[in-house]
Amino acid sequence: MGEYIGHRPDGLRYSRFCELYRAFAAKLPVVMRLTHAAGEKLFVDYAGDTMPVIANRLTGEWRNPTLAHLWAGHVDDARAGRAGR
């Protein structure tokens, strides 16, 4: 913070930034806004029913994969796997 203010003496202090951000966020439309410290929580978005895919083109085996979107703070990951695993 001191380095920032050293280069920009008239810059925003943290408390003023938070005040302005809260005012900005209050004007946003209602959405599922989840605020948390990075790494504090893991969120999983399950995709529900999926379409069958060919699992083995040599044997002709088909499977219905499970799809999930995982995120925690700035980390984002999408995975497909067998149902029930």
How many domains are contained in the chain?
Answer: 1
Residue 55 pLDDT > 70, yes or no? yes
| DSSP three-state, residue 85 | coil
Return the pLDDT at 80.
57
- Residue 54 has a CB neighbour count (10 Å cut-off) of 11
Residue 84 pLDDT > 60, yes or no? no
Return the pLDDT at 19.
93
Contacts of 82 (CB under 8 A, 6+ apart): 63, 65, 66
DSSP string, 19-79: HHHHHHHHTSPP-------TTS--EEEE--S---EEEETTTTEEE-EEEEEEEETTEEEEE
Residue 45 pLDDT > 60, yes or no? yes
pLDDT higher at 22 or 83: 22
Q: pTM score, two decimals?
A: 0.34
Range of 65's domain?
Answer: 2-82
Q: Give the mean pLDDT of the chain.
A: 75
